[in-house]
Amino acid sequence: MEKTMVKATVAVMATTAVVVSGVILYQKLNRKKEGNAKLARAEEMVEELERTCASPLERLRQLADAMEVEMHAGLASEGGSRLKMLLSYVDSLPTGDEEGLFYALDLGGTNFRVLRVQLGGKEKHIVKQESKEVSIPPHIMIGSSGELFGFIASELAKFVAAEGEEFQVFDGRQRELGFTFSFPVRQSSIASGTLIKWTKGFSIEDAVGADVVEELTAAMDKQGLDMRVTALINDTVGTLAGGRYYDQDVTVAVILGTGTNAAYVEKANNIPKWHGLLPKSGEMVINMEWGNFKSSNLPITEFDRALDEESLNPGEQIYEKLISGMYLGDIVRRVLLKMAEEAELFGDTIPPKLRVPFILRSHDISSMHHDISPDLKVVATKLKENLGVINTSFETRKMVVQVCDIITRRAAQLAAAGIAGVLKKLGMDPSSVNHQRRVVAIDGGLFERNKVFKNCLERTLSQLLGEEASRFVEVTLANDGSGVGAALIAASHSQYSRRGEL
């Protein structure tokens, strides 16, 4: 009897063991199946992203054409296009002869810089320069105009007070400043202009419509600073000036940094909306404000639409939101969030930090994108540091890199289309025969530090221009146009040179 019971118990146990291991195997297989399904879904999402971001050459050509059409419309009449095509009142660019001590103030992002530059004329060029960078506290970026300019003027006053003996202002002359203000401004002269709107995360309501030179001058007066603002310029215009200082064929300047924009030299009689006297040079630098460009041919995805809707300036700066450094990281974050929600890209819980806007910066996506380690170690570290995601699989890391790649290449291709449009407006396209050397000076961290972006932009631009025309076009990295360029324009528009004293 006992024996029978033991036998029965052993049989039950054996059966149970078989059933349990069967269940485990089933669960494992199921999990694998589920895992495979999630992986397949994630891969599908990447493919879908690639499709919606695709910018084949034909589409880019249409965009270049649209850019050219909009440039004409913006020059024809005020408000004629989304491209403001703003007059800069810069009708003469530096020649290299500029001499003396000039200051510059560069405001356009979360930091501003103050500079002093001692110019030594044709022979010596820039003899010495010094600068200081100050970050703008976030509450000031969305506070009042008085606070912003008061803060800037007080830092500028400290900087001027520390001027060393090696810097020499000409006897009896007032110090002069070139003010780079990298937002859309409607100018009425070289040293005055009202802010049209803020971009790049600034939002100071009472400054809109105000003359920013008057605001700065009032703040400098309060600090007891005896200095005159002789030029108000956009960073693109400064970049053009900085480029010209060394190479007289620089005709176009582009910023690809936190924001994006372009400026170029236009013939004065090609600007119907300008009713003033024609400048002696017959030319005028135009600040395009191309960040506001929009076309039905732009490859806009659901992620771009959501980013725009939730931004401080919905409906505005659409081209900028697809291209510039301020936004690329956040587009990638939005894609990854959807992949985490729908395909469990980072496991069965969604990393809470992935929901925080702007937590991924463009330099983060650039480091992940440029990771050449065999196991994508940098990607793993960045995901851990920025999003708190640990233990990612190689497959996941590879997909993150793919997403960074798609978004970065799209940006570079769109920027190349914009440049091709400007060059076309200047008479440079594959069909033109009369070629002349043209140099495009580009400044900004995205172009300077992201190699994939830079190479892709240059390659796409050559493809768009065609072999023949691209032999005449050079793209160069400009050096600190918004700083030194502003000092140079202050020099070439000095109150003393205008009186024939220089």
Positions in the binding site for ligand BGC (CB under 6 A): 108, 182-184, 199-200, 234-236, 255, 257, 259-261, 289, 291, 320
Give the residue at shortest CB distance from ligand BGC: 259
Helices (H) and strands (E) in the chain, counts: 17, 13
Q: Which is nearer to ligand BGC, 257 or 351 (CB)?
A: 257
**Interatomic CA distance for residues 177 and 304, integer angstroms:** 39
Cα radius of gyration rounded to whole Å, the chain? 28
Residues 426 and 27: their CA atoms lie apart, in Å, by: 66
User: CB-wise, 400 or 484, nearer to ligand BGC?
Assistant: 484
One of 106, 235, 371, 429 is an active-site residue; which one?
Answer: 235
**407 with 331: CB under 8 angstroms?**
yes
d(CA 325, CA 261): 12
Q: Which of 113, 175, 410, 438 is catalytic?
A: 113
Q: Which residue has the tokens 């005055």?
A: 192
Q: Closest separation between CB of residue 419 and ligand BGC, Å? A: 15
CB-nearer residue toward ligand BGC: 330 or 344: 330
In the bound complex, what is the minimum distance in angstroms from residue 201's beta carbon to ligand BGC?
9
Distance CA 61, CA 442 (A): 21
Of residues 88, 145, 182, 366, which has the active-site annotation? 182
Q: Smallest distance from the beta carbon of 119 to ligand BGC, in angstroms?
A: 24
Please give the Cα distance from 185 to 187 (Å, whole number): 6
470 is catalytic: no
Cα gap 260→325, rounded to integer Å: 8
Residue 289 C-beta: closest distance to ligand BGC, Å: 6
For the chain, how are helix, strand and coil distributed in percent, rounded to 5?
50, 15, 30
Burial class (CB in 10 A: 0-12, 13-18, 19+), 247: middle
Find the shortest distance in angstroms from Cβ 264 to ligand BGC: 13
Between 291 and 351, whose beta carbon lies closer to ligand BGC? 291
Question: Of the two residues 152 and 403, which places its CB atom closer to ligand BGC in the complex?
Answer: 152
| Catalytic status, residue 410 | no
Tokens read off for 240:
């053009």
Helices (H), 298-391: 302-309, 318-323, 325-343, 362-369, 377-387
Closest separation in Å from C-beta 255 to ligand BGC? 4
Which residue lies nearer to ligand BGC by CB, 210 or 225?
210
Half-sphere exposure of 410 (CA within 13 A, CB side): 28
Q: Nearer to ligand BGC by C-beta: 260 or 460?
A: 260
C-alpha to C-alpha distance for 143 and 202, rounded to whole angstroms: 9
Entry field: residues in the chain? 502
Q: What separation in angstroms does the CA of 85 have from each of 75, 250, 295, 322?
A: 6, 19, 17, 20
Whether 459 is catalytic is no
State in angstroms the smallest separation of the CB of 184 from ligand BGC.
5
Q: Are strands 192-195 and 126-135 parallel, antiparallel or unpaired?
A: unpaired
Comparison of 261 and 386: residue with beta carbon closer to ligand BGC: 261
Write down the least CB distance from residue 179 to ligand BGC, Å.
13
Query: Which class for 349: exposed (0-12), middle (13-18), buried (19 or more C-beta within 10 A)?
Result: exposed
* Residues annotated as catalytic (active site), given as ranges: 113, 182, 235
